[in-house]
Amino acid sequence: MARDRLADLTAAPGERRHGWITVPGIEPEWRVPAVVVRGRADGPTLAVTSGMHAAEYVPIEAVTRLTRWVDPATLRGTLLAVLCVNTPGFYERAIYVNPRDGRNLNREFPGDPQGSASQRVAAFLLAELIDGVDAYVDAHCGDLIEALAPFTLWTRAGDPRVAEQSRAMSRAYGFERSLGVEPDSVPGAAYASAALRGVPAIIAEIGQQGICDEPSVARHLRGLQNVMAHLGMVDALGPAPAPPVPMDRMEWMRTDISATYHPTVAVGDRVEAGQPVGELRDIFGETVRELAACASGDVVFLVTALAVKAGDPLLGIGVPQG
């Protein structure tokens, strides 16, 4: 369904508008950079966010480029984009959390308009950006201390038709791996809240470690363009991408102690359950834990920081279907 606004930022048919929108009820003021591109022709409305995690730079750049690439004269429908959700953390290079309240924004949906800063932002985005659109993409990458292999996530939550539409968007994105997850696997994630409200939604991840590298930006941008073509908003840019390898699940390894982390595997490596994947040492270099793979599959996510604290993830293994 066609939309002409994101909060108080509006666009006429054939117009691109950008500006700052303010999340109500937060002091000091919380503003986010937003863009509305409304086509001359009617068509679907796609909502896109980046910068939920402020040091995930690749998607912020890719979404910014998307809003400048889309031509409102030929666009069918409307693109609504928030270029960086976690603006308080952006210039601080904050990882994981919003520095105003120490919360992870992508664990706070559906939010609370009377709650903490992160909860208010989540409720605002759900009400003003996501509710009622035809599709939603939350663009991510590995944070400052994370390496990862490209993948998309979609949720099996809610209406099976919405889940299937989300899976189709995941395939269209063009990344190597895809995983359909249960709604409670990542509690409070924006894409799951969207799906539960009837909006097909995915997370897409490529890029890592605070590096805004051109190949990753280009692939994220092409994935977003592919989704727009899949929805009929723009013409296809080329042949359909190869289908992703479906993962059955993601198995996570975490540390129960604060220590130094010394992995012996890299992102993309195939591991077998029980094989050594690294160790944890104390600050004097003594080994305190030897780490063995918890499952067989591909290393899709890997923390690259020396310092880890109790409860932190260490690596994620994508277990293939079958």
* Mean local confidence (pLDDT), 16-27: 97
Which structural domains are found in the chain, ordered by start? 5-243 (3.40.630.10), 247-320 (2.40.50.100)
pLDDT > 90 in the chain, percent: 95
Residue 70 has pLDDT above 70, yes or no: yes
- pLDDT digits over 180-237, tens only? 998 677 789 999 999 999 999 999 999 999 999 999 999 999 999 999 999 999 999 9
Read off the pTM: 0.96
As a whole number of angstroms, the distance between CA 10 and CA 242 comes to 37
Buried b (16+ CB within 10 A) or exposed e, 209-248: bbeebeebbebbbbbbbbbbbbbebbeeeeeeeeebebbe
Provide the pLDDT for residue 296: 97
Provide the pLDDT for residue 293: 98
- What the block records as the tokens of 220 is 């994220």
Dihedral sign (CA 311, 212, 154, 100): positive
* Mean local confidence (pLDDT), 106-122: 97
Angle at 163 between CA 161 and CA 168, to 5 degrees: 95
Assign 193 to helix, strand or coil.
helix
As a whole number of angstroms, the distance between CA 79 and CA 9 comes to 12
Q: What is the CA radius of gyration of the chain?
A: 20
Provide the pLDDT for residue 260: 98
Residue 2 has pLDDT above 80, yes or no: no
Q: What's the mean per-residue pLDDT of the chain?
A: 96
Provide the pLDDT for residue 300: 97
pLDDT > 70 in the chain, percent: 99
* Mean local confidence (pLDDT), 97-123: 97
Sole residue written with tokens 């002409």: 4
**What is the CA 275 to chain-centroid distance, rounded?**
30
